[in-house]
Amino acid sequence: MDIKEYLHRDSSSKLDLNAYLQRIGIADYMAISKTPSLSSLRTIHRHHVFSVPFESLSMHSGEKIIFDIGWIYEKIVLRKRGGFCFENNGLFLWVLQQLGYQPRVLSSRVRIKVTDVYEPPHSHIILTVELEGRRWLCDVGFGDGILEPIPLEAGWEGEQDNGVYRLEVEDEWHLQKKEDEVWNTLFKFNLEERTFEDFRERCEHYQTSPNSFFVQKSFCSLHFPDGKLTYIGHRLITTEYTKGGGSVKTTKELTEEEIPALLKDKFGIVLSGKLTPKED
């Protein structure tokens, strides 16, 4: 959708919680607890990461991402797209607010694995909620991250379908994932509360800077209980999880002509503009 066209609409008044729940495979509002509960939070979190892709396709198909919850809702819920962290966790923030969870917004710094360097502040948005006397970390917008909320407790360690995670406190809090028996930090953060608006500048940077991972690579990934499917450039990578945080990967090379049908069949995505595959 053209930006000028969007700005002349009032989509914020059309946000529908039931439509979101149906988008993530939950029949309707009555299918979850009427009051905030850990069980419902886990259900919504898991359904989101199993239904909404983590993707950068907007940057490679001529679409501008507008930093606005109404626009994000329209993209993910009505057009059945995915998005990067500001979109996925931004929408999840709205959902939790509507359901009475009183979420808090935190800023984190993503670790670049190949260089062991951390991105600047506000490079990744995460959420926390308080339930049953504990504080829980939520994140539906990290491609290789948690599938359900984890307790925000120093030293916590636990296994999820896609790997083993832990929280360590050094200079800051570190969310780590075990890979080949080595603990690698995914991102680090502190507990200073932020607002969604604080991430506007980084959202613009990541969709325009030539140094941005999202600009450098056209990708789309989606979790499943026993694996993950990832499109990137001209490849489709199928990951099958094994016990203890391991995985087995298979790769298929794609022609440019095959990609639109693959995105539709595997991810439910139909782009409004022509995709330019990229993996530099």
Give the contacts of 217 (CB within 8 A, at least 6 positions apart): 56, 232, 233, 278, 279, 280
Select from 92, 82, 88, 36 the least CA-distant residue to 58.
Answer: 82
**For the chain, which domains are there?**
104-189 (2.40.128.150)
Select from 238, 222, 276, 232 the least CA-distant residue to 254.
Answer: 232
Residue 138 is a catalytic residue:
no
The sign of the torsion formed by the CA atoms of 58, 60, 62, 67 equals: positive
> pLDDT tens for residues 69-101?
999 999 999 999 999 999 999 999 999 999 999
- Catalytic option among 60, 85, 220, 223: 85
- Catalytic option among 124, 138, 174, 223: 124
**Token output for 145:** 């991250």
Measured distance CA(273)–CA(249) in Å, rounded = 30
**Token output for 15:** 């946000």
Q: Is the pLDDT of residue 174 over 60?
A: yes
Out of 81-85, 128-132, 199-203, 276-280, pick the least confident.
Answer: 276-280
The conformation of residue 28, written as its DSSP 8-state character, comes to -
> pLDDT tens for residues 98-156?
999 999 999 999 999 889 999 999 999 999 999 999 999 999 999 999 999 999 999 99
Q: What is the CA radius of gyration of the chain?
A: 18
- What is residue 3's predicted lDDT score, i.e. its pLDDT? 40
Mean pLDDT of the chain: 93
> What average pLDDT does the segment 215-227 reach?
95
Q: Where are the beta strands (DSSP E) in 42-133?
A: 54-55, 104-112, 117-118, 124-131
Residue 85 is a catalytic residue:
yes
Residue 226 is a catalytic residue:
no
- Catalytic option among 60, 138, 139, 220: 139
Element of type H or E holding 168: strand 163-169
- What is residue 2's predicted lDDT score, i.e. its pLDDT? 43
